[in-house]
Amino acid sequence: MRNICRVTHLVRSLVGLLLAMVPLTLSLGLSACATTAGPSTVDLLSQAGFRKVPADTPQKVAHLQTLPDQRLVARTYQGKKYYVYSDPKGCNCLYVGNAAQYQSYQTIVRQQKQANQQWEPQGGVEEDREWEIETAGMNG
């Protein structure tokens, strides 16, 4: 009888220990998932100096709808290259940067890739038609 009590106590102790470890194991697993996801593209664009331009007029909304969703697109306007990222579902805005800011973005992406081999930013740069700033109402 005494041995049965010891075994029962031992089993209860082990079960308690295992149950105590489950939340810790789950939290470690979830934090590992969170770190492999990496920062969002808009976080990286902001960090690189891209300007957030809200689509707060009918003209800007119409222009936002002409751009591919969540893709970095290269545009040329008055001989200068700009990079535009549309986020219609997130902030209902554009992120606009120049060549230097795009270079900074590329550097940040490379650093992220080195820090976390599994992370990839969304899409690449799409070279496309002449970008009309006046049409979008974003000059100045």
What tens-digit pLDDT sequence spans the chain (140 residues)? Answer: 665 655 555 546 544 543 444 443 434 444 444 455 678 999 999 999 999 999 999 999 999 999 999 999 999 989 999 999 999 999 999 999 999 999 999 999 999 888 887 656 655 565 554 444 444 545 54
Same domain, 32 and 45: no
* Whether residues 62 and 130 fall in one domain: yes
Give 78's DSSP letter.
Answer: T
Shared domain for 60 and 95, answered yes or no, is yes
Do residues 33 and 43 share a domain? no
- pTM here is 0.59
The total domain count for the chain is 2
Structure tokens that stand for 84 in this block: 């535009």
**What is the extent of the structural domain holding 130?**
39-136
State whether 73 and 120 are in the same domain: yes
Whether residue 3 is found in the same domain as residue 50: no
> Do the beta carbons of residue 54 and residue 93 sit within 8 Å?
yes
Q: Are residues 28 and 46 in the same domain?
A: no
Indicate the DSSP class of residue 69.
B
Q: Does residue 64 share a domain with residue 98? A: yes
